[in-house]
Chain A
Amino acid sequence: MTDFLKIANRTFTNRMLLGTGKFPSTQSLKETIASSGVEVVTVALRRVDITKQAEGILTAIDRTKQLLLPNTSGAKNADEAIRLARLARAAGCGDWVKLEVTPEPRYLLPDPIETLKAAKILVAEGFIVLPYMNADPILAKHLEEAGCAAVMPLGSPIGSNRGIKTIDSIRIIIEQSNVPVVVDAGLGAPSDACLAMEIGADAVLVNTAIAVAANPAGMAKAFSDAVKAGRLGFLSGLATKMLQANPSSPTEGIPSVQ
Chain B
Amino acid sequence: MKIFINDKEYVFEDTELKLINILKKLDVNQAGLIAEVDGKVFNNNELSDVVVKDGSKVELIKVFGGG
Contact = CB atoms under 8 A, between A and B. Distances in A.
Interface stretch (B12-20, B30-38, B48-56): B30-38
Question: Which size bracket describes the interface of B in this complex?
Answer: 20 to 34
Given A48-B28, A92-B44, A70 B67 contact: no
Contacts, number: 102
A50, A87, A158 — most chain B CB neighbours (10 Å): A50
Question: Which size bracket describes the interface of A in this complex?
Answer: 35 or more
Interface in B22-67: 26, 28-29, 31-34, 36, 41-45, 59-67
Nearest to A17: B67
Interface string A97-136: 0000000000000000000000000000000000000000
B33 A73 contact: no
A43 B34 contact: no
A174 interface: no
Contacts of A211: 65
B2 to A, nearest CB: 17
A71 B66 CA distance: 7
B63 A54 contact: no
Nearest to B5: A50
B21 interface: no
Interface of B: 5-6, 26, 28-29, 31-34, 36, 41-45, 59-67
Interface of A: 19-23, 29, 42-48, 50, 53-59, 68, 70-71, 73, 86-87, 90-93, 158-159, 185, 205, 207-208, 211
